[in-house]
Amino acid sequence: MSTLRVPGATLHYKVRGSGPLLLLISGGSADPDLFDGVGALLGDRFTIATYDPRGNSRSPLDGPLRDLYIEELADDAHLLLAELTDEPAYVFGSSSGALTALELLVKHSDQARLIVAHEPPAFGLLPDAEEHYAFFESVHATYLSEGADAAMRLFGKGIGEERPGRPPTHTPNDGPHRQDEYAQSAPRENLAHPPMVCAPTLTRSPIPQAGWVAA
Q: Where are the domains of the chain?
A: 2-123+205-214, 127-202
The values of phi and psi at residue 117, to 5°, are -105, 105
> Which one-letter DSSP state was computed for residue 135?
H
pLDDT by residue (tens digit) across 178-189? 333 333 333 333
Rounded CA separation 93/112 (Å): 12
**23: burial class by Cβ within 10 Å (0-12, 13-18, 19+)?**
buried
- According to DSSP, the β-strands at 89-94 and 112-118 are parallel
**Strand locations in the chain, DSSP E?**
2-6, 9-17, 21-25, 47-51, 89-94, 112-118
Homologous superfamily of domain range 2-123+205-214: Alpha/Beta hydrolase fold, catalytic domain (3.40.50.1820)
pTM: 0.75
pLDDT by residue (tens digit) across 54-79? 988 888 899 887 888 899 999 999 99
Percentage of the chain modeled with pLDDT above 90: 49
Contact 151/142 with Cβ under 8 angstroms?
yes
